[in-house]
Amino acid sequence: MINARKRLEERFVRYAAIDTQSADGMEKTPSTETQLNLQRVLMQELDELGASNVRLTEYGFVIATIPGNLESAPRLALLAHVDTALDYAASNVKPIVHRNYDGEPIALPGDPTKRLDDSTAAELKGLIGETIITSDGTTLLGADDKAGVAVIVTLAEILLNDASIPHGDIRVCFTPDEEIGTGISKLSLEELDADVAYTLDGGEAGEVTYESFSADKALVRIQGVSIHPGSAKDRLVNALTLAAKLICLLPQHTRTPETTDERQGFIHLLRMAGNSAKAELHFILRDFEREGLQAHGDALQAAVDAVAKLEPRATMTCEISKQYRNMRYWLEDDMRPADLMIEAVRAIGLEPKITPIRGGTDGSQLTERGLPTPNLFAGIHNAHGPLEWTSVKEMEQSLQVCLELVRLWGSETV
C-alpha cells in the first residue's frame, strides 16, 4: 500500500529545491533552461513508475499516459506548471518541514522577521497537528505549482499500481512558463489528446475554480527630447517626468490591485524603466467581464492621450495586447467538467469553495482553445512571496479529489 502522505512530502520537498524560475521577455520556450532540470526528473520518475509514452516536447512540456482500463471513458488530462514566479528570489530554495504544527506563529529561520501568524496565514488555524512546509524566508517556496506537480505524480503512482480503479486513459502534462503566460500556447492539443482537463494550481482545500480574470497587457513608450541639463531650458522634454504625470492621471484609490478584491478589476503598473530621453511602462489590465477589461484599456489610453497633448514635442504610444480570457465564457456552455469537480470535492467530505480566481491559469487559455479545463486546489498559500507555504494534508486532499474525478469520468462515455 502506498503511503500517500509520505510520497507527497518527499516529492514536494525534492521538487521545491530545484530552481525553475521563468524569465519574462525571452523569445524561447521554455524561457529558462533550469525548468528542464525538473522536467527531466519528472520524465525519469514517470518512466520508472510505468507510465506510457513519456516524452519531452520541443517546447519543454512533459507529457505521459496512464493507460486506462475502460475503452469508452473520456480521456482526462491533469496539468501543473513547473516554473515559479518572477516576483521574488527562487534559487537555493531550502524547504522547511514543520511537523505537528502547534498553532503558534512560525518564524522562518533564514529571516526571523518573516512570520506566519494570524495576520499572514489565517488558514493555519485549521491545520493544527498537521505538517506544514515553508521556505526559510529568503526565497519563494515554489508550492505554486510544485504542490500540484507532486499530487499528479503521486496519483500516477497510485493508478499505475492499482488496476482495480476504473478509468480511461489519463494524460499527465507538466507545463513551462505559466507564470509569464506564454508557455501553454505552445502545447499541441492534438498531442495532449484529451477530452477534458484540470489544472492543479489552486489554494486552500475545497477551492474549485471555473472562472478566472480576463487579461490584457499594455506597453506605454515615451520618447522625450534629450539634451544636456546645463542647456536644457525650453528644450528638454523629460520622459520620466511625463511617465510620472501619466501615473498620477491613473486611478489611485480605485482600480488598482491594492484597492480591489473579489470581482473588481484593476490597472496595474508592473514595472518601468528608462531615463530622461525615453521610458517604458509595462501594465497589466484585469477584469472578469469583457466590458470591464475594455474600460481599463480605454482609461489607460485616455491618460496617455492627455499627457501627450500636454507635451506635443514628445512621442507617446500605448500598445494593448491580449493575454487570456475568463474561462467561464466557454465553460458556462457545458458545466459538466465543473459539476463533476464539485461532486468530487463533496465526495471526500469537503464543502466546495467556488472561487473566481483573481489571476489566470493555463486552463484559461486551454478552455478558450476548446479543451474545457477548470482549476482545482493544491494547497498553495501566499504564492509569489517569501511567506508561501503548503500543507501535506491539503495536498493529500487534492489527491483524493483527483482519484474521485478519475472514477467519475470513468463512468462517463465519450
Instruction: List the catalytic residues.
Output: 83, 178
Side chain identity, residue 80: A
What length does the chain have?
A: 414
Distances (CA, A) of 405 to 3, 198, 312, 402, 408: 20, 10, 60, 5, 5
Alpha helices in 75-179 (DSSP H): 143-161
Degrees to nearest 5, angle at CA 114 with 252 and 21: 75
With a CB cutoff of 8 Å and minimum separation 6, the contacts of 47 are 54, 64
Q: Is the peptide bond before 109 cis (omega within 30 degrees of 0)?
A: no
How far apart CA 212 and CA 140 sit, in angstroms, is 24
Question: Are the C-beta atoms of 113 and 206 separated by less than 8 Å?
Answer: no
Task: Give the cell for residue 355.
Answer: 472561487
- Only one residue has cell 494550481, namely 201
Helix (H, G, I), strand (E, B) or coil at 113: coil
Residue 79 parent element (H or E) = strand 76-81
The single-letter DSSP state of residue 127 is G
Torsion of CA 328, 329, 330, 331, to 10 degrees: 20
With a CB cutoff of 8 Å and minimum separation 6, the contacts of 11 are 149, 150, 153, 154
How far apart CA 249 and CA 130 sit, in angstroms, is 49
